[in-house]
Amino acid sequence: MIFWMLQRANAAEVSRQRLRSSQSEGRSEYSQIPRSPVMRRWRWLVVLVFFTGTSLLWFLASWPWPYTVSLGVILGLLLWQFEEWWLQRKINRIEQQLADSIDMMVASVKSGASLQGALESAMDNTASPWKDELSHLIASIRYGDDPVLVFSELSSRIPIETIGLFAQTLAVNWSVGGQLSVALANVAHTIRDRLELSRRMQAMTTQARLSVISVVLVTYFIGALMWRNDPERMAEFLTSLVGQVMVSIAMLLQAIGFVWISRLSTPQF
């Protein structure tokens, strides 16, 4: 019994290694394919805002260096969070458009249209940015490119799980045939379930985010009360090196905690 279990574990490990090697080969094969503008990232703005903010506060406002560094880091982290939110917003939009276009394709296929005709019908009844990707996909097929490779390039241009599932379904149907309407209906159902689960998780984690924001605001409210009750000692504390370092560290920890709770409350599929 133990020998049989060891054999099964060894076979499972060999299968996992083969799967990793095939995935790495596939990534290297399509690594030169340019990403879609939908997946464009703006991480370099974080570094730019950090150096710009610190330079302005240091040279123009003449702020102490602990406050300058901490505020520059906070501005960079806030911009990073905004960039993450903006990307997720675009992903949710293109997934919703994908689900709607799949419904149109299912209706077209059931009415007797071909796969290319169903793609053209979906392209005519959807909006950007998914319309641009479908237009690029249809144009590549019309120009004579291999449809299977075109579908694979689509999943490489937009590295989202739902796009990969859609492209793989089309590639398999183009190669071996089958009931395309049933397969696409299952894909659309899976996409809508993912979107619904993501919305529910966002709603469930709203309380945690509001709690973090309220705790951060309470600390500044307490600091304002202390300034009002004894402004001389508070000013002396804020202008001293020890006070500047302590306040700056507290502000940085608050920003890191906000980013941390945001990452924990983001749904991971």
Domain with residue 137: its CATH number is 1.20.81
Same domain, 105 and 182: yes
pLDDT band at 27 (very low <50, low <70, confident <90, very high): very low
Q: What is the pLDDT of residue 43?
A: 74
Q: Kindly give the interhelix angle for 231-239 and 241-264, rounded to the nearest 10 degrees.
A: 80
Residue 65 lies in a domain: no
The answer as to whether 106 is a domain residue is yes
The span from the CA of 240 to the CA of 235, in Å, is 9
Residues 101 and 197 in one domain: yes
- pLDDT confidence of 82, banded at 50, 70, 90? confident
Q: 242 and 254 in one domain? A: yes
Q: Does residue 67 lie within any of the structural domains?
A: no
Q: Which of 180, 202, 224 is the last residue of a domain?
A: 202
Distances (CA, A) of 18 to 5, 14, 73, 178: 20, 6, 43, 28
The 8 Å CB, 24+ separation contacts for 218-226 are 219/250, 219/254
Same domain, 103 and 180: yes
- Among 152, 174, 202, give the residue marking a domain's end: 202
Over residues 80-108, mean pLDDT: 87
pLDDT band for position 125 (50/70/90)? confident
Q: How confident is residue 19, by pLDDT bands cut at 50, 70 and 90?
A: very low
What is the domain extent for residue 160? 96-202
Co-location of 180 and 215 in the same domain: no
Residue keyed to tokens 């990232």: 41
- Is 79 among the domain residues? no
Q: Which amino acid makes up residue 167?
A: A
pLDDT 10s digits, 197-223: 888 877 777 777 788 778 888 888 888
Rounded mean pLDDT, 41-47: 76
Same domain, 184 and 211: no
Cα–Cα distance for residue pair 212/234, rounded to 1 Å? 25
CA dist 56 and 72 (Å) reads: 10
As a whole number of angstroms, the distance between CA 237 and CA 216 comes to 20
Averaged pLDDT of the chain: 79
- Summarize pLDDT for 149-180 with one digit per residue, the tens: 888 888 888 888 888 888 888 888 888 877 88
Report how far apart the first and last C-alpha atoms of the chain are (Å, whole number): 36
267 domain residue, yes or no: yes
Whether residue 126 is predicted with pLDDT greater than 80 in this model: the reply is yes
Examine residue 1 and state whether it is found in any structural domain, yes or no.
no
Are residue 138 and residue 164 in the same domain, yes or no?
Answer: yes
Mean pLDDT value of segment 223-249: 86
More confident residue, 86 or 60: 86
Distance CA 104, CA 109 (A): 9
Same domain, 104 and 193: yes
Across residues 79-96, what is the average pLDDT?
Answer: 86
How much is the pLDDT for 1? Answer: 47
Check pLDDT > 80 for residue 31. Answer: no
- Global pTM reads 0.71
Structural domain includes residue 120: yes
Domain presence at residue 51: no
Pick the last residue of a domain from 176, 202, 228.
Answer: 202
